[in-house]
Amino acid sequence: QMCEKFTVCQNSVEVLLRNNLNLPRVTEEDGDFLTFLSFQDKCLRKISSGLYTFQTYLKYIQETFTSEHQNVESLSYSTEHLARTIRRMVINPEEVFIPDAATQESLHTKLKSTKAWTEKITIHLILRDFTSFMEKTVRAVRYLKNTRSFSV
């Protein structure tokens, strides 16, 4: 929809703008999926923390991409629910990073200060990275479901 409505696509020159959003990622250091068994808890903490962090970004999209308000609201709710579910799977749930109100407000203010012409690209980058994050999350949860005795 972003490509159609705003002509913001992967091959767009605007995508080359510096991405300094510092979006959450699951990286090899967090336990790649080949050696996942030894990194399960660390990876689950990272996933849950990342999902909680994405909440502020999704709130920004919800406020900015008003034509999709309902869809983004649903996505935000589902993301928060998944973050809580995965947090309960962590050995020490207190170790999951949940951004405090001040951190969320600071990030939200930074996002809102984005100039109108970069607003679309910001939304695109957030959604692209969120999609990538969720793909890795799905693989991790599937792997765990097949190797551990729990249900998600």
Interval 57-66: pLDDT, tens: 999 999 988 8
| pLDDT for 23 | 74
| pLDDT for 125 | 87
* Domain edges within the chain: 34-149
pLDDT tens across 93-106, in order?
999 999 999 999 99
In terms of pLDDT, which residue wins out, 143 or 20?
A: 143
Q: Which CATH number fits domain 34-149: 3.40.50.2000, 3.40.605.10, 1.10.3720.10, 1.20.1250.10?
A: 1.20.1250.10
| pLDDT for 29 | 56
With b for 16 or more beta-carbon neighbours within 10 A and e for fewer, the 6-18 pattern comes to: bebeeebeeeeee
Question: What is the overall mean pLDDT for the chain?
Answer: 79
| pLDDT for 7 | 52
Residues in the chain: 152
pLDDT tens across 13-49, in order?
454 445 567 777 766 555 444 454 446 888 889 999 9
**CA nearest 82: which of 103, 52, 57?**
52
CB-based contacts of 109, cutoff 8 Å, min separation 6 = none
In terms of pLDDT, which residue wins out, 105 or 148?
A: 105
In terms of pLDDT, which residue wins out, 10 or 53?
A: 53
**CA nearest 21: which of 52, 48, 60?**
60
